[in-house]
Amino acid sequence: MNIGLLGFGVVGRGVYDITAARDDMQVTKVICLEDITLPDAEVTRDFNKILTDDSIDTVVEAMGGLHPAYEFVRAAIEAGKNIVTSNKALVATFYDDLLPLAAEKGVAFRCTAAVGGGIGWLSELERVRRVQEISMVGGIMNGTCNYILDSMTRLGLDYGEALKQAQALGYAEANPSTDVDGIDTWHKLILSSNVAFGVSMEHESVPVCGISRISAEDIANFKANGLTCKLVSRGTQAEGKYTAYVQPTLFPQGALEAAVPTNFNLITLDGEYSGRQSLYGQGAGRYPTAYNVVEDCVSVLAGKSFYSPYGGKVSADNSVKLRYYVRGGDAWIDSVTAEKWGTASVTEPVAVNEIHAWLKNNPEAFIAAIAE
């Protein structure tokens, strides 16, 4: 396998290092905006040098972002080159364009590292769904948010202090909004649901709420009631109906989710025969993520393409009802409040879509579902 590598940052460099020790694949050309020299690969800023090189059969996209990553990947598919990417935003956003095109052109498309970094979650879904129907996917999918929530809970830091610490350690970007507002997890849930259920989830039907409004007061309320807050995703299918949402959720302190430390991920599926299975590990990092990119290259060599057949569009029906912790309210919240925790309300069961719609009109509020 001859690889054209797009990007030479954290993940791209890791891919180069791992493939350098193998004799079944080689990075021959690298797109990099910096002036670097590699002993066995040509470094260029011109994507056309990869696109028009017939010896390159596989393009590994490690640039991140939507543009020009999308244009490069689409052109590579059109040129008959296999695609391996770690870019969850790219795949989730352009799923309906890139997946049918890859099938039409007869090229492989793999993106295992896009969800869970080094965990191998999507390839596990691929394996599981060969034998059984998957009824639920979800869990802790973002290491930045988990680090912040864990630091607030264990160390007593407020949100701002925990975020600064995460940034100092490289777990959070200078602009952390994609992580803390839940968008990263949202992309991962959509992609996971698509693979697990063999569908294409309508983005607008999947509500998302992050952790940026959480306060020390909230953490104190949770501790006083024996609960721990985590940002989780959940997607389900049953009898042709689907749910999908991302939101802070409160777990009993003895629950598996409550024990996940620092920047780790815990992602779970529920299978028809196997029941609940959870995968735990590093959700990011140079070599954990690059490892799964190279695993995908090995899978391409073995003749594998995408993880599930491309499915038609479906919308999430989030009418399922849950109890919620709500700090900040109005007359409607008062009307569904079952008890008070300090100044915050705990609601009777309300529909997921209903409270997320309320939150859009009350952006200063903080909500967290209470796990059943």
Which of the residues are catalytic? Answer: 188
> How far is Cα 28 from Cα 349, in angstroms, rounded to an integer?
57
> How far is Cα 366 from Cα 22, in angstroms, rounded to an integer?
49
User: What amino acid occupies position 346?
Assistant: V
Q: What angle in degrees, to the nearest 10, is found between the helix axes of 95-105 and 69-78?
A: 20
Q: Which two tokens stand for residue 154?
A: 């264990």
DSSP state of 349: P
**Contact call for residues 207 and 114 (beta carbons, < 8 A):** no
Beta bridge partners of 234: 138, 245
The kind and range of the H/E element at 190 are helix 183-197
Cβ atoms within 10 Å, residue 317:
16
- Residue length, the chain? 372
User: What amino acid occupies position 351?
Assistant: A
**Contact call for residues 42 and 56 (beta carbons, < 8 A):** no
Cβ atoms within 10 Å, residue 123:
20
Q: Which residue has the tokens 């409270």?
A: 355
Q: Which residue has the tokens 């598919």?
A: 77
- Choose among 362, 361, 340: nearest CA to 217: 340
